[in-house]
Each structure stands twice: as structure tokens, then as C-alpha cells.
Amino acid sequence: MRRSNIELLRIASMLMIVMFHFSVHGPWPETGPLASQVAVEMLSFGGKLGVNCFVLITGYFMVRGSLKVTSLLRVALETWFYSFALLGIFLVVQPDLVTPEKLEKALLPLMSGEYWFITCYVALMAASPFLNLLYRHLGAVGMSRLAAVGFVVLSLVPTASTFNPLGSDLVWFFYLYLLGGWIRDLTESDNAAGQSRAKAGGLCRLDPVRIAERMGGWAIVGGVGFVWASMTVLGWAHQVFGFDRILPDYFIWQYMVPTFIASLGTFLAFQKLAIGSVPWINRAAASALGVYLIHDNPIMRAWLWPHVAGLYAAGWPAILAGGIGAALAVYALGALIDAARRTWLEKPLLAWISRRFAARLARADRWFAGITREG
């Protein structure tokens, strides 16, 4: 049974990601009223927070499980479908948007970087059995120390110094995946084994999950408030004094301390929601990845976001309202499209693949499961 509190987090995360794309891909002028510039920047904040939450969710559910080949195949097929379908549509209706670079990326969506998140996410899924094995053998103290070391090296140092010694989205995804499982062990009262591990002595004070848990709601309020305040101050300094050593959006990136701690706080807040299983939430959340693949396709976004250009002249209230409204509209329409795809294409195709290649799929699943059992 799907847990609707976590599924609701999927929806909220994707809405924040759409608002981020509204901000960063919209045709906004480089200079303009400070209030309008800050409004655009404010809408960008939640995008990387949403990315963090998506990966945390994956680790939360998968770190104690086993990779299924059909899950990997489902993501790949969905990516290929939307890349090819949108390419075909725009070749017919607006071919001028299909540049040679976009054509090349569309034909090889998993390897070309057309969707950076999908490329990293598929690699994460493929590596998950090895990460599960690592997690299994770390123990509570080892995992807490890994969380603390990762916090210092991957988040604290880059935030304080602008130097990221391991500047890789995939390394960050590996770290978040392990943290997702660690959150489950630290916080879930129905997980007796995890609670036993969590109560063991020697857990690190710099463990970011424990920091966010102690902060409670302040992890979100403090993280969001700090980033928004920094956007205002840095934007003002840039306009008045020409200060550009630190850009207004400096603190929004996924590994920056305020965004990272706010991500953990957001995950913990949704985890505590007691809403049971809500069918409409579960159905809407099942299309979250499809919404991403539709609206952030490079050809689609070249067509989509110029339509909101007129909001800038209307002032900051219109920008904020437009960003929120665009996110809701994109999600609603994308979810309807993706529900049709899943019903009429994905389910029959995966059912046929499962019947036709049942023995091979079972062998592959056993192979992946065997990795986790090693040692």
C-alpha cells in the first residue's frame, strides 16, 4: 500500500521543481526592479529542495529492498517515450525549435544529458544494490559518521568556501540515498531493528538528519528564510554596488547547507503526517516523473516558458502568482497525459515484457538481490 504522506511529498516536490524551472528558464530581463528580480529568485528556491526530497524518498524505500529490473526498465521506457514523442510533435508543429543539439539529445535521452536528473537517477538505481550492501554493514554508528562526514565534505565546505571537492550530482545522489534509509531507521517507531540501531551510543552530533530532527520546523523556516533573505540582500548589493562575487541564487543549490537542512526538515515533516492512504494523492503522485519529463524536455521548455514573459512587467505579485499558477497547471495537465500513457501504453507493454522474458527478468532480479546478500 502506498503511503500517501510520502506520495504527497512527491507532488509538492515536483510543484517546487516546476516553479524552479519557471524561474530559471523564463525569459526574464537581466536588470529590472529589485522586487521583481527577488520574486523570480524566490520561486527558484524549492527546485533543488524538491530534487533532494525525490532522492531521499528513493533511499527511504529502497535501501532495505532489492532492485527490480522492471523498475529500471519502467524509468528508461518512460524517458524514451516522452523524448521521442515530443521530438515528433515539434518536428511537425514547430520544427524551428528542434535545433541540431536538441535533436541529438532527444535521440539519446539517457546518455546525452537531455534530462540530467534521469541520467543520475538511472545510475543511482543501478548502483543501489551496492549502496544497500554498504548500508547494511555500516551499523548505526558507522552510518551516523558517514552522514556527518558527508555533511562536512559535500555540504558545509562548499557552502562556506565555494569549493566543492567532490562536485558531482551522482555522488550527492548516493549520499542522499543512504540518508533516506537512515531517516527511516532513526525515526520510524514501527521499525524495531532500526530503532535499536538508532538508540545505540556514539551517534555524531554533526549527523545532518539528527540536526534537522532536533530543529523540527525550524529546519524548514530557517533554511527557507535564510535563502530568501540572502536573495534580497545580495540582489540589492548587486543593483546598488555592482557586487557580483556571490550571486543572489548562491544558496539555492541542493548541497548548500540551508537548502540541504530545509530538505531534510521537509521530508521529516511529511513523514510525520498521519493521513493514511488517499487514492487521489497516490494517483496524482504516480505521474510526478512524467510531469518532469514533459515540462523540462529541452524542446518543450523552449516553447513553454516564453508564454509567461508578460508577467514581469506586471510586477512582483503577478510573478509570484504566475509561478504558482503555472506549476499547478503544468502538473495537472502533465498528470492527465501521463495517466493516459500509463494506462494505455506502459501497463500493457510491461505486462507483455514480464510474460515474454519472465525467466530472464527473474535471473536478473536474483543477481541484483545476491549483491546485497554478499558478506
Check residue 125 and give its pLDDT: 96
Segment 226-232 long-range contacts (CB within 8 Å, at least 24 positions apart): 226/251, 226/258, 227/45, 227/251, 227/252, 227/258, 227/259, 227/262, 228/42, 228/45, 231/38, 231/41, 231/42, 231/45, 232/34, 232/38
Check residue 212 and give its pLDDT: 95
If you average pLDDT over each of 155-159, 230-234, 339-343, which comes out highest? 339-343
Please say whether the dihedral angle defined by the alpha carbons of residues 157, 163, 164 and 165, taken in this order, is positive or negative. Answer: negative
| Residue 44 · residue 235 · CB < 8 Å | no
Cα distance between residue 228 and residue 226, in whole Å = 6
Cβ-in-10-Å burial (0-12, 13-18, 19+) of 349 comes to: middle
Higher-confidence residue: 241 or 86?
86
Please name which of 119, 112, 107, 182 lies closest in space to residue 148, comparing C-alpha atoms.
182
Instruction: Tell me the pLDDT tens digit for each residue of 115-128.
Output: 999 999 999 999 99
Tell me the three-class secondary structure of the chain, residue by residue.
Answer: CCCHHHHHHHHHHHHHHHHHHHHHHCCCCCCCCHHHHHHHHHHHHHHHHHHHHHHHHHHHHHCCCCCCHHHHHHHHHHHHHHHHHHHHHHHHHCHHHCCHHHHHHHHCCCCCCCCHHHHHHHHHHHHHHHHHHHHHHHHHHHHHHHHHHHHHHHHHHHHHHCCCCCCCHHHHHHHHHHHHHHHHHHHCCCCHHHHHHHCCCCCCCCCHHHHHHHHCCHHHHHHHHHHHHHHHHHHHHHHHHCCCCCCCCHHHCCCCHHHHHHHHHHHHHHHCCCCCCCHHHHHHHCCHHHHHHHHCCHHHHHHHHHHHHHHHHHCHHHHHHHHHHHHHHHHHHHHHHHHHHHHHHHHHHHHHHHHHCHHHHHHHHHHHHHHHHCC
Higher-confidence residue: 156 or 31?
156
Q: Which of 79-88, 154-163, 267-276, 277-286 has the lowest mean pLDDT?
A: 154-163
Instruction: Tell me the pLDDT tens digit for each residue of 307-332.
Output: 999 999 899 999 999 999 999 999 99
Q: 190 falls in which pLDDT band (50, 70, 90)?
A: very low
Mean pLDDT value across residues 240-246 = 77
- Does the pLDDT at position 59 exceed 50? yes
- Does the pLDDT at position 194 exceed 70? no
- Does the pLDDT at position 282 exceed 70? yes
Residue 337 grid cell: 497525459
Instruction: Tell me the pLDDT tens digit for each residue of 5-38.
Output: 999 999 999 999 999 999 999 989 888 888 898 8
Q: 164 falls in which pLDDT band (50, 70, 90)?
A: confident
Instruction: Tell me the pLDDT tens digit for each residue of 345-366.
Output: 999 999 999 999 999 999 999 9
Q: Which of 63-72, 241-250, 274-283 has the lowest mean pLDDT?
A: 241-250
For the entire predicted model, the pTM comes to: 0.93
Check residue 198 and give its pLDDT: 54
- Does the pLDDT at position 90 exceed 80? yes
